[in-house]
Structure 1
Amino acid sequence: MILSQYGDYLYLYILLLVSIPAVILGIREKNIKYYAMFITVVMVILTIGVDSQFRYLLGFIFWEMILIYTFYRLRTKNKLIFRIYIILSLLPLIINKLMPFLKLDLVGFVGISYMSFKTVQIIIDIFDGNVKELDFFDIIYFILFFPTLSSGPIDRYRRFKDDINSSISSDDYIENYLSIGIKKLFKGIVYKFAFASILYVFMDKIPNDKSALSLIMYMYLYTFYLFFDFAGYSSMAIGTGYIFGVHVPENFNKPFISKDMKEFWTRWHISLSRWFGDYIFSRYVLAAMRNRKIKKKKNIYRIGQIITMTTMGIWHGLTWYYIAYGVYQGIALVLTDNYIGTKWHKKNAKNKIYQYLQVFITFHIICFGMLIFSGYLNRFFG
């Protein structure tokens, strides 16, 4: 039997049972790390099973560890070798995304996208000199860490390693880990099993036609459904991580009060947007400035935003609506940059009514993007 992570009550019941020893260890000021490593293996097996998915996962781990350790041994600053390693690290994910087109049944298991980002991140940090030493079991634990296996958030290896190897006093654990973790876990349960479930019922009742009213209804309902579903998953993952002694980074922070799209991406899927910002956007901008082929910094930023968000769309899947969603978000960021630089915006930026209008307009830009992302428009073009 394969369980859906945070997706059913049986999983939550098992999660409660395996969390009890972690709580006891934390209160008694014992390191939770080794127990958590064991439970991670158990929960991974319960989530993906022991059939082909598990074999693919073992092959993925073996492949990535070879790449990480050989690149660490090289510690080269040769950019060509570095890029080859990045491509090789992403190869399982690339094959996974191409499987529907190649009609293959390879490299498929729950969480491959998030795991790939973790392994690529380590290679990049080795290249940048930010990772000075490797611990085999810490890396395996980081890649497989069960609370964030299938839904994120995406953590950073150095921060994660510091957390799992730090000493936590009983009072600190109770106040800054256990109590916060329980609150976040229950918040996620309410978001996922109450709000998202109710919204899904209403979505299911939308008439199956091509009317503008159905389109608008679906757009609003799907936007809120996706938020409560995904924010619910994330909150449960973060809460579980806290209970197991890890300060998993936040993933959502009231995204629908954003005044513009730049602010939105500091509030929505925060860990992913920061990952893309640090490892794609910033690196592209720095490389472009050094090459000096594009003279204006504004143009470099604009191209970087388009590249970053399009890549994010492709990461979600090789379907037209995911790619269109990425391009849409890139264009939205470029237009936002242009607009906030205008005299009109600067003149009215502190006006409350103007700010409310910004939130209203931004919300609808968000909603239309979610409509694209949902694939619902297929019925209009099909």
Structure 2
Amino acid sequence: MKLTQYGDYFYLYLLLLTFIPAIVLALKGINIKYYGLIVSIAMIYLIMGKTIGLIMFLMFLAGEITLIYGYLYLRKKNDSRYLYWAFLFMSIIPVIITKVAGLTRFAPYIGFIGLSYLNFKAIQIIIEIYDGRITEIKFIDFINFILFFPTLSSGPIDRWKRFEENLNSKIEKNEYVNEFLLVGLRKIFIAIIYKFIIAYLIDTYWLLNIPKEVNIINSINYMYAYTMYLFFDFAGYSLFAIGTSYIFGIKTPENFNKPFLSKDMKEFWTRWHISLSRWFGDYIFSRFVLDSMRKKRFRSRFTASHVAQIITMFIMGLWHGLTVYYILYGLYQGVALVLTDIYQRKSTFYKKNKNQKWFNCVQIAITFHIVCFGMLIFSGYLFK
């Protein structure tokens, strides 16, 4: 039997059963991490089933453990940049293989559920070992971090240092009840409304009823329907993952924050899939800009920033898949960010009116439509 994470009521029933021991342990002041690890292993087995995916997952886990602990040992003896790049590349190989395999008939046999998100965890650890921010990794804590089941399928993407600190912190009874249990249950309640009611209604009575013929009217209709469905489905999933994490004593970071109220595309990416955009911002965008300024690749920081935005969003597009519409989506988002920055820096009209309420309302409406058109590209609807 295979389960779909947060995808049906039977999974939610099993999830509820796992909550009971976690809550009892937490209320007694006992750290939940060992119980959480046992549940994670059991849930991963139930989600993946006895499939090739489970075998691929175990191979991935063994490979990344070897790479991370191998590099942690070598980094203490050698800070070579070439050694770092070699280990970084090796840590990325799993996601590269799965994206390339996605274009072939071998796609069903390569990869497993949540590979990309697990790979992000391994990659960031390699990077931070090189930076010197990570000098020691306790094995049980590391396995907890990699296997943490609430965020298995689609994040949110947590950070090792934050997770480790949260995992080992002592939580008092009142703190657990008020800051973890009640908050977690509230998020799960909202998730049920988002994913099983609103997203379901949008999909059933709007999205699926749009004629398959691709024309302007149908494309516009699909654009709005898909954008709203994607938000409520994915935000619902994220709230399930975050709420479950809280009940297991981990404050997994938020992933959505009213993204359709964004006044520009830069703000949008601080509100939409926040953990992913921050990951790309920290490990690709910021590093490219700093390295470019240090090596004087460009005349100004603005040029470096614009090139970094294009590269970052292009890579994000590739991460979603090696198809035309994902690549175009990445480039579209990169160009939108660059044009936003140029407009805000050079437009006197913008500078004069940016604090006006009417102007902010207009910006929100325009940004919403820029976002929706990007989602239309992302959906692949125009490429049928």
> Normalising by structure 1, what TM-score?
0.98
Q: Does 1:84 align with 2:70?
A: no
Alignment RMSD: 0.9
- Where does residue 311 of structure 1 map in the other structure? 315
Q: Does 1:230 align with 2:268?
A: no
Q: Does 1:113 align with 2:116?
A: yes
Q: Is the 8 A contact 1:185 1:236 kept in 2?
A: yes
- Where does residue 155 of structure 1 map in the other structure? 158
- Where does residue 53 of structure 1 map in the other structure? 53
- Where does residue 101 of structure 1 map in the other structure? 103
- Where does residue 23 of structure 1 map in the other structure? 23
Q: Which of structure 1's runs of 4+ aligned residues deviate more than 4 A?
A: none
Q: Is the 8 A contact 2:214 2:382 kept in 1?
A: no
**What is the letter of the counterpart of residue 211 of structure 2?**
P
CA–CA distance in 2 between the matches of 1:206 and 1:100? 28
- Where does residue 293 of structure 1 map in the other structure? 297
Q: Is the 8 A contact 1:189 1:232 kept in 2?
A: yes
* Aligned partner of residue 31 in structure 1, secondary structure: coil
Q: Does 1:257 align with 2:261?
A: yes
CA–CA distance in 1 between the matches of 2:200 and 2:79? 50
Q: Does 1:212 align with 2:216?
A: yes
**What is the letter of the counterpart of residue 221 of structure 2?**
M
Q: Does 1:369 align with 2:374?
A: yes
Q: Is the 8 A contact 1:142 1:157 kept in 2?
A: yes
- Where does residue 245 of structure 2 map in the other structure? 241
Structure 1: any 5+ residue segments left out of the alignment?
none
Q: Does 1:144 align with 2:147?
A: yes
CA–CA distance in 2 between the matches of 1:313 and 1:39? 33
**What is the letter of the counterpart of residue 177 of structure 1?**
F
**What is the letter of the counterpart of residue 60 of structure 1?**
F
**What is the letter of the counterpart of residue 228 of structure 2?**
F
CA–CA distance in 2 between the matches of 1:220 and 1:13? 33
Question: Structure 1 residues 128, 61: CA separation in 2 closer, same or farther (over 3 Å shift)?
Answer: same
Q: Does 1:358 align with 2:363?
A: yes
CA–CA distance in 2 between the matches of 1:60 and 1:107? 11
**What is the letter of the counterpart of residue 60 of structure 2?**
F
**What is the letter of the counterpart of residue 51 of structure 2?**
D
Offset of residue 262 of structure 1 = 0.1
Offset of residue 211 of structure 1 = 2.5
Offset of residue 185 of structure 1 = 0.8
Offset of residue 107 of structure 1 = 3.9
**What is the letter of the counterpart of residue 80 of structure 1?**
Y
Trace 1:262-341 onto structure 2 (pairs within 5 A).
262-341=266-345
- Where does residue 221 of structure 1 map in the other structure? 225
User: After alignment, is 94-103 or 271-280 more displaced?
Assistant: 94-103
TM-superposition CA deviations, 1:234-274 (whole Å, max 9, x none):
00000000000000000000000000000000000000000
TM-superposition CA deviations, 1:19-74 (whole Å, max 9, x none):
11001111111101000000000000111112211111110000001100110011
**What is the letter of the counterpart of residue 101 of structure 2?**
M
CA–CA distance in 2 between the matches of 1:46 and 1:102? 27
- Where does residue 6 of structure 2 map in the other structure? 6
Q: Is the 8 A contact 1:57 1:107 kept in 2?
A: no
CA–CA distance in 2 between the matches of 1:103 and 1:273? 31
Alignment length, in residue pairs?
A: 379
TM-superposition CA deviations, 1:199-243 (whole Å, max 9, x none):
001110011212211111100010000000000000000000000
- Where does residue 62 of structure 1 map in the other structure? 62
**What is the letter of the counterpart of residue 66 of structure 2?**
I
Q: Does 1:39 align with 2:43?
A: no
* Aligned partner of residue 103 in structure 2, secondary structure: helix
Offset of residue 104 of structure 1 = 3.1
CA–CA distance in 1 between the matches of 2:126 and 2:264? 34
**What is the letter of the counterpart of residue 150 of structure 1?**
S
Structure 2: any 5+ residue segments left out of the alignment?
none
**Of residues 130, 134, 139 in structure 2, which corresponds to 1:131?**
134
Offset of residue 102 of structure 1 = 4.6
CA–CA distance in 1 between the matches of 2:280 and 2:42? 31
TM-superposition CA deviations, 1:98-142 (whole Å, max 9, x none):
113354355410000000000000011100111121111211111
User: After alignment, is 290-299 or 278-287 more displaced?
Assistant: 290-299
Offset of residue 189 of structure 1 = 1.1
CA–CA distance in 2 between the matches of 1:28 and 1:189? 29
CA–CA distance in 1 between the matches of 2:297 and 2:184? 49
> Normalising by structure 2, what TM-score?
0.97
CA–CA distance in 2 between the matches of 1:9 and 1:103? 32
CA–CA distance in 1 between the matches of 2:356 and 2:79? 50
**What is the letter of the counterpart of residue 34 of structure 2?**
Y
Q: Is the 8 A contact 1:92 1:107 kept in 2?
A: no
- Where does residue 167 of structure 1 map in the other structure? 170
Q: Is the 8 A contact 2:95 2:115 kept in 1?
A: yes
